[in-house]
Structures are given as C-alpha cells and as structure tokens.
Amino acid sequence: MAQVYNHPTKDRAIDPPGGGGDDGGMEVRVSKLEALAEKTGERLVAIERDLAVIKATGVSKEDLHKELHATTWKLVVAIVLAQLLPALPTMLKAFGWIK
C-alpha cells in the first residue's frame, strides 16, 4: 500500500468560516479589473467610431469586385501584348505584309 504524506495544512479549511478567504488581495485584483473594464469601454467606443467612418466612406463589395474585374482584364491584355510584340515582325513577314 502507498504511503500518504501528511501535509501540515491538511486539516486547515480552505476558506476560514465567517471570512472572505481573499487573503487581503481581493481589493487590488478587483480594482485592476475595474480599470481594465474602463479601458476596454474606451477602446470599444473608439472602434465603433472608426467603424462608422469606414461605413460612411468605404466602398462596397460590388465596387471592389468591379475594380478587380477591370484590373484583371488590363493585366491579361498587357501579358498578351508583351508576348505578341516581340513576335510581331516575324508574324508580319510570315503573312507577307512586310519584306
């Protein structure tokens, strides 16, 4: 059978009866949480203000889609022209348009 270690505090209650059992540090912890809650509230107000500005001046998904579509076609045309321009003199000679 295993031995049981008798810790000196095994008979002491975790929270003494009639007391808070906070070891005197609860007030400090609560004040830190309250300060954090105030800062969180201020940050939330700033985020809401920024979001309102973005909604008022921002573009929609449709606008972004249209712009992306136009840019894609410009890029495709540029790539095709970049590939065709070096071969253009050879093609014109093959068609007999230049000698």
pLDDT digits (tens, 9 = 90+) for 46-94: 999 999 988 888 878 888 899 999 999 999 999 999 998 998 888 888 9
Kindly state whether residue 3 falls inside one of the protein's structural domains. no
Domains identified in the chain, total number = 2
Domain range for 65 is 60-99
Residues 98, 64, single domain; the answer is yes
pLDDT digits (tens, 9 = 90+) for 4-43: 667 766 666 555 555 555 666 788 888 999 999 999 999 9
Q: What is the largest CA-CA distance in the chain?
A: 109
Kindly state whether residue 14 falls inside one of the protein's structural domains. no
How would DSSP label each residue in 13-44?
Answer: -SS-TTS---TT-HHHHHHHHHHHHHHHHHHH
pLDDT for 3 equals 75
Residues 74, 95, single domain; the answer is yes
Residues 64, 49, single domain; the answer is no
Residues 50, 77, single domain; the answer is no
